[in-house]
């Protein structure tokens, strides 16, 4: 997975420099933002002529999906003020998935979170730097099938949690919402809208609370 994210980082750096951006912009974005999807969203808007403010807005909007991530695994790094800042900054899809896959073992989950996000941070920034140096000579990373490999890995990590009926119901409803809205919404937004799938569990939870 780290090799894959490194190659995607190469693509980001190469696309940014090929578009005429100074080398320090993609490098600084990867170091200070550390969010591949948000960075690509911002780059796409800027290259389409949307301007810097519109690009920043697109990146922030896509990045909002990290709010529920923090609610799910924030307890793993909320002990001290500096771990809160660092842990929140290092929060990504993969670190969240690996931490949740560790189950109820808090020590294992914390280790999974920090090891995963650290390795991915190094891989992503190394890839960006390589892409900046290589310029426009990097092939499209999609030919390696990496666009399918990442979602497949994340699905495999969350499969154990689907044994819970409420969780499975929410996932299926959210997936249906994401698929239905994907043709009409910009990249990244269907993931946010998929959170509406959580509403599917409210009637069941209400009945459970009433019976108790």
* The pair of three-digit structure tokens given for residue 7, joined into one six-digit string: 């190659």
Reduce the DSSP state of residue 164 to 3 states and report it.
coil
- The Cα–Cα gap between 67 and 151 comes to 19
Give the distance, in angstroms, between the CA of residue 100 and the centroid of all CA atoms in the same chain.
Answer: 14
* The pair of three-digit structure tokens given for residue 62, joined into one six-digit string: 């896509």
pLDDT, one tens digit per residue, over 5-39 is: 888 888 888 888 877 888 999 999 999 999 888 88
> pTM of the entire structure?
0.71
pLDDT, one tens digit per residue, over 160-180 is: 777 778 888 888 898 899 899
Q: How many CB atoms lie within 10 A of CB 183?
A: 7
Q: Are 191 and 65 in contact (CB under 8 A)?
A: yes
For residue 152, give the DSSP letter: H
Q: Are 94 and 37 in contact (CB under 8 A)?
A: no
Reduce the DSSP state of residue 188 to 3 states and report it.
coil
Q: Does the pLDDT of residue 209 top 60, yes or no?
A: no
pLDDT given at position 88: 94
């Amino acid at each position: 997975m780290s090799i894959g994210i490194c190659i995607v980082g190469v693509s980001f750096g190469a696309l940014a420099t090929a578009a005429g951006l100074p080398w320090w912009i993609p490098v600084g974005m990867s170091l200070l933002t550390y969010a591949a999807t948000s960075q690509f969203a911002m780059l796409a808007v800027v290259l389409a002529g949307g301007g810097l403010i519109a690009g920043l807005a697109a990146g922030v909007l896509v990045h909002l999906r990290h709010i529920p991530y923090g609610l799910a695994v924030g307890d793993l790094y909320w002990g001290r003020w500096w771990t809160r800042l660092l842990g929140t900054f290092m929060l990504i899809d993969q670190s969240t998935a690996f931490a949740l896959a560790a189950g109820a073992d808090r020590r294992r989950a914390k280790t999974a979170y920090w090891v995963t996000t650290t390795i991915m941070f190094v891989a992503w920034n190394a890839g960006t730097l390589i892409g900046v140096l290589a310029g426009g000579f990097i092939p499209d990373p999609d030919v390696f099938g990496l666009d399918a490999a990442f979602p497949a890995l994340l699905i495999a990590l969350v499969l154990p949690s689907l044994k819970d009926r409420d969780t499975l119901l929410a996932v299926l409803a959210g997936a249906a919402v994401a698929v239905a809205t994907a043709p009409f919404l910009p990249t990244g937004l269907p993931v946010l809208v998929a959170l509406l799938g959580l509403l599917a569990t409210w009637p069941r939870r209400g009945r459970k609370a009433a019976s108790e």
